[in-house]
């Protein structure tokens, strides 16, 4: 299992395969999903993905986005729990011990996609157990919802980047206040 930063990085990258604001999806087809999983060392080059795997990946991605949302605004619809539990069951997650004594959670078997999903869920579990999960957030811009790791001291980060979403929000607030002042005159 990756270290805590790489576990949260993996989860963030997976959730961010959907760039909501641009309408782009990096795992929209079996070949796209395969390329992404191979590129992140979660499956082998000779493995194949299906349309069902794409649907499962999208469902898992959005479930993880919903779970990260708990760290952002506390909202939770509960649909994420079903999807995550179903995927964890399909990937047959198990605890294993290496010859060096490292204890980790990994996927025991399943299809290539189910094993990859198991690795992603194991990264989530690793981040939860080491405390880094609570720093995973979603951008407050409802059109963006990009997952990011909140590095602020007081865990108050709210924007994927201040240069883009944070700046837009501040500019909107400034314009609104200026309009209100002008209306009061």
User: Which domains does the chain carry?
Assistant: 4-184 (1.10.3300.10)
Single out the residue of 119, 117, 111 nearest to residue 49, CA to CA.
111
Q: Quick check: 4 pLDDT over 50? A: no
* Tokens linked to 72: 């952002």
Per-residue pLDDT tens digits for 36-93: 999 999 999 999 999 999 999 999 999 999 999 999 887 777 788 999 999 999 988 8
**What is the band of 1 on the pLDDT scale with cuts at 50, 70, 90?**
very low
* pLDDT for position 169: 56
Per-residue pLDDT tens digits for 128-180: 999 999 999 999 888 888 999 998 888 778 767 655 675 665 656 656 677 76
* pLDDT for position 96: 85
Please tell me the distance from the alpha carbon of residue 140 to that of residue 159, in angstroms, as a whole number: 6
Contact partners, residue 125, CB within 8 Å, separation at least 6 = 93, 105
Q: Quick check: 95 pLDDT over 70? A: yes
* Tokens linked to 83: 């999807």
Please tell me the distance from the alpha carbon of residue 106 to that of residue 127, in angstroms, as a whole number: 14
Highest mean pLDDT among 18-22, 53-57, 101-105, 110-114: 53-57
Cα 96–133–59 angle (5° rounding)? 80
Cβ–Cβ under 8 Å, residues 87 and 113: no
* pLDDT for position 2: 43
CA distance readout (Å), 53 to 94, 96, 152, 175: 21, 25, 36, 45
């Amino acid at each position: 299992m990756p270290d805590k930063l790489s576990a949260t990085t993996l989860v963030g990258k997976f959730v961010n395969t959907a760039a909501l604001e641009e309408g782009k999806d990096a795992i929209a087809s079996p070949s796209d999903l395969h390329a992404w999983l191979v590129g992140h060392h979660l499956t082998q080059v000779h493995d194949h993905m299906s349309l069902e795997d794409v649907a499962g990946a999208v469902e898992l991605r959005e479930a993880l986005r919903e779970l990260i949302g708990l760290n952002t605004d506390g909202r939770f619809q509960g649909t994420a729990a079903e999807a995550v539990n179903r995927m964890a069951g399909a990937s047959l997650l198990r605890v294993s011990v290496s010859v060096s004594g490292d204890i980790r959670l990994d996927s025991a078997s399943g299809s290539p996609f189910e094993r990859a999903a198991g690795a992603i869920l194991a990264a989530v579990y690793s981040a939860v157990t080491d405390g880094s999960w609570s720093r995973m957030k979603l951008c407050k811009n409802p059109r963006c919802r990009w997952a990011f790791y909140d590095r602020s001291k007081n865990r108050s980060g709210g924007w994927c980047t201040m240069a883009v979403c944070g700046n837009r929000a501040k500019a909107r607030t400034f314009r609104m206040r200026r309009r209100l002042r002008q209306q009061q005159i």
